[in-house]
Amino acid sequence: MGEIGGPREACGVFGVFAPGEDVARLTFFGLYALQHRGQESAGIATSDGRSLSIHRRMGLVSSAFTEDDLQRLPGHIAIGHTRYSTTGSSVPVNAGPFLVRQGDEAIAVSHNGNLVNGEELRQELLAAGVPLESTTDTEVLAWMILRSPGRDWVERIRSAMSRMVGAYSLAILTRESLIAVRDPLGIRPLCLGRLDGGWVIASETCALATIGAEFVREIEPGEIVVIDERGVSAHPDPAMQAEQAMCVFEFIYFARPDSAIMGQRLHVVRQRMGAELWREHPADADLVVPLPDSAVPAAIGYSLASGIPYAEALIKNRYIGRTFIQPDQRLREQGVKLKFNALPEVLEGKRVVLIDDTIVRGTTSRPIVELLRQNGAREVHMRVHSPPIRWPCYLGVDMATRDELIAAHLSVEEIGRAIGADSIGYLSLDGLFRAIGLPRERFCAACLTGRYPVPVPPERLLRRRSRTQELAGARS
Ligand code: SF4
């Protein structure tokens, strides 16, 4: 994703059950591997079988925990969370995981996703006198589970799930167990791994590899998996609905290229997207240049399919971090200059195919095209390895409102002119799913098609608009 201010992911979740292990430290390293899914805050909660402990702080995983913090998280069960805010603002009280207590019961929850009916459930809880501290869906969801009836956690979670509409992949910590839950459409990823003497759950397989765990399987849509001293017990969705709606942007961009989802290694899938892009939109050019880092696999694919040499001509300052994840628009605008430099020796006199994974607002594509020209590129041909984003996301990705999406208002040719490219081509929906190699019925592609997998109440659109206006007001 070269575009600063592009779609931002809504959290990484992690959990480990491993008696005898330093589970807080394992979770710390697991969160490191999931840092790309959210950079606003990080947190870990642990259980020693008697009580729950928690530490949450704003900032990157590396700065959120000191050695002392990790020492103060005892136990053999842990969950962790890295957050990017899609609901609620960026303040410490909204950092995850969420720990909620009622009587002598307590649970902590890490959540990736977004409830479409979160506001409605929030109002219900407030009316019932529940002391909500934050403005996030995660706290709502934790209280929904804690207050739901049932003989055990599985029944209580199942009861809460019957009220929750939207995307949720959860790691839940109780005193005695680690529980993985995925919404019935499986919108966000969640997988199960085996550790020597324990079990792990994680948003992505890359986090399993980081701590030396072996991938076992994905948590199925609608499934609840309980891990405790008796082992692992799986509780499939009793409705067993055939539909699935995995977010297609996990394949295009969000998930790390070394992760695998639905049996597909994302680096390989993205290479195929690049090859399809060449077939659909060839260019007469001398070099294929990726927007680092996320467009690299697709640029390799485009280069291999076309025979046009691959070149790195944009150098990213990796220490600036993924600035587009920052929720502040001023930082995003500053980000292009802070983030990329170009190599004139590579670009001089060359016709360049510039590969990016998406164009959201279009506000940063133009400076990048200009940067290539200023450094000697004779032509710049923009190629994008996803179809145009024309609709907002209500399922956990801060995609911008419809008003802000450049492809909602301009044709592809107009976008090409607006960003100053000599030509432009987007991968088609057919091409995208040919590259993914799985049936399109198993995916959500609503931001590309406008067909949402869950009903979206019209007031959600208004709420997203007013939040954007709020941010715009704060800037002016
Ligand atoms: S609308 Fe787009 S970003 Fe949101 S879940 Fe669906 S595919 Fe993913």
Domain definitions of the chain by residue range: 12-244, 269-438+450-475
Q: Does pLDDT of 5 surpass 60?
A: no
Pick 206 or 135 by higher pLDDT: 206
pLDDT of 4 reads: 46
CA-nearest residue, atom 2 of ligand 1? 447
Percent of the chain whose pLDDT exceeds 90: 74
Which ligand 1 atom lies nearest to the CA of residue 443? Answer: 7
C-alpha 444 – ligand 1 centre gap (Å) = 6
Secondary element (H or E) of residue 25: helix 23-33
State phi, psi for 211 to the nearest 5 degrees.
Answer: -100, 15
Q: What is the pTM of this model?
A: 0.90
pLDDT of 457 reads: 65
Give CA angle at 87 (108, 17), nearest 5°.
25
- State the amino acid at position 292 in one-letter form: P
Give the lowest-confidence range in 5-9, 192-196, 353-357, 401-405. 5-9
pLDDT of 85 reads: 60
pLDDT of 117 reads: 92
Give the lowest-confidence range in 126-140, 315-329, 428-442. 315-329
Interatomic CA distance for residues 395 and 398, integer angstroms? 9
Q: Does pLDDT of 186 surpass 80?
A: yes
Q: 260: number of CA atoms within 13 Å, CB side? A: 13
pLDDT of 320 reads: 61
The verdict on domain 12-244 having CATH code 3.60.20.10 is yes
- Cis geometry, peptide bond prior to residue 293 (ω within 30 degrees of 0): yes
pLDDT of 362 reads: 86
Residue that the structure tokens 């993985």 belong to: 180
Q: Sign of the C-alpha dihedral, residues 171, 174, 178, 183?
A: negative
- Torsion angle of the four alpha carbons 52, 111, 64, 326, in this order, in degrees rounded to the nearest 10: -160
C-alpha 431 – ligand 1 centre gap (Å) = 18
C-alpha 336 – ligand 1 centre gap (Å) = 25
Which ligand 1 atom lies nearest to the CA of residue 389? Answer: 2
Interatomic CA distance for residues 434 and 83, integer angstroms? 32
- Eight-state DSSP code of residue 220: P
How many CB atoms are located within 10 Å of the residue 358 CB? 27
Q: Does pLDDT of 394 surpass 90?
A: no
pLDDT digits (tens, 9 = 90+) for 18-77: 999 999 999 999 999 999 998 889 999 999 999 999 999 998 998 899 999 999 999 999
11 is catalytic: yes
> What SS3 state is found at 217?
strand
pLDDT of 460 reads: 54
C-alpha 37 – ligand 1 centre gap (Å) = 15
Pick 385 or 404 by higher pLDDT: 385
pLDDT digits (tens, 9 = 90+) for 416-427: 999 999 999 999
Confidence at 209, pLDDT banded by 50, 70, 90: very high
In CATH terms, the fold of domain 269-438+450-475 is Rossmann fold (3.40.50)
What are the angstrom distances between the C-alpha of 329 and each of 400, 405, 415? Answer: 12, 15, 21
pLDDT of 345 reads: 98
Residue that the structure tokens 């002598």 belong to: 104
**Average pLDDT of the chain to the nearest whole number:** 89
Mutational test site, ligand 1, from 37, 395, 440, max ligand atoms within 8 Å of CB: 395
Q: Does pLDDT of 473 surpass 60?
A: no
Q: Is 255 a pocket residue for ligand 1 (Cβ < 6 Å)?
A: no
Q: Is 456 a pocket residue for ligand 1 (Cβ < 6 Å)?
A: no
Which ligand 1 atom lies nearest to the CA of residue 247? Answer: 8
CA 2 to chain centre: 16
Q: Is 446 a pocket residue for ligand 1 (Cβ < 6 Å)?
A: yes
Q: Does pLDDT of 396 surpass 60?
A: yes
Q: Does pLDDT of 3 surpass 70?
A: no
Bridge partners for 106 per DSSP = 101
Q: Is 444 a pocket residue for ligand 1 (Cβ < 6 Å)?
A: yes
Mutational test site, ligand 1, from 246, 248, 386, 451, max ligand atoms within 8 Å of CB: 248
pLDDT digits (tens, 9 = 90+) for 222-270: 999 999 999 999 999 887 666 799 999 999 999 999 999 999 999 999 9
C-alpha 250 – ligand 1 centre gap (Å) = 9
Q: Is 405 a pocket residue for ligand 1 (Cβ < 6 Å)?
A: no
Secondary element (H or E) of residue 289: strand 287-290
CB 220 within 8 A of CB 235: no
Q: Does pLDDT of 88 surpass 90?
A: no
Give the lowest-confidence range in 162-171, 356-365, 377-386, 399-408. 399-408
Q: Does pLDDT of 476 surpass 60?
A: no
Please choose, from the candidates 424, 409, 449, 317, the residue with its C-alpha nearest in 3D space to the C-alpha of residue 369: 424
State phi, psi for 295 to the nearest 5 degrees.
Answer: -90, 5
